[in-house]
Amino acid sequence: TIDEWEDTMRQVAANPDPVEIQEVLEISYTNLKCDMDKSIFLHIACFLEGEEKDYIIKLLAQCDLYTVVGIRNLMYRCLVYVEDGRVMMHQLIKEMGREVVRKESPKEPGKRSRLWHHQDCIDVLQDQS
């Protein structure tokens, strides 16, 4: 909601440390009530930001995710927005989403739910992590 975002912005203004900013932004993610919405958010943050909304809806529907409602919920939480038919997100929010995935297994990328960084992919495929 707008009130939640205003509170978050006040927290960010009071705590300009980049690590703390990520933690404050992560509150919006953790407060998502539906695991499907969290999954949709992470897919977009890691792979699909900037893609056409219709493409994302069709693609993630194949993963049995309720993407129309999920994207609407993410928009309501100001985690994503649609511009010229494409799903977009602020760079800090994208980084926060990727950090959520990285925290799943900081030292072993092969145990994470998603891989987007080319070196992590190479290491996992070569069984080095």
Domains contained in the chain, number: 1
How far is it, in rounded angstroms, from Cα 23 to Cα 62?
31
Residue 118 lies in a domain: no
Report field, pTM of the whole predicted structure over 0.85: no
Mean pLDDT by 10 residues, the chain (129 residues): 76 68 85 96 98 98 96 95 97 94 94 94 82
Residue 127 lies in a domain: no
Q: What sign has the CA pseudo-torsion 28, 34, 37, 43? A: positive
Q: Provide the pLDDT for residue 100.
A: 95
Question: Would you state the structure tokens that stand for residue 19, as one six-digit string?
Answer: 């690590």
Cα–Cα distances in angstroms (integers) from residue 89 to residues 5, 22, 62, 95, 119, in the given order: 15, 14, 22, 10, 24
Domain that holds residue 53: 2-104
Q: Provide the pLDDT for residue 20.
A: 72
What CATH number corresponds to the domain at position 65?
Answer: 1.10.10
Q: Provide the pLDDT for residue 58.
A: 97
Residue 99 lies in a domain: yes
Q: Provide the pLDDT for residue 90.
A: 93
Q: Provide the pLDDT for residue 25.
A: 84
Q: Provide the pLDDT for residue 7.
A: 80
Q: Provide the pLDDT for residue 128.
A: 61
Q: Provide the pLDDT for residue 14.
A: 72
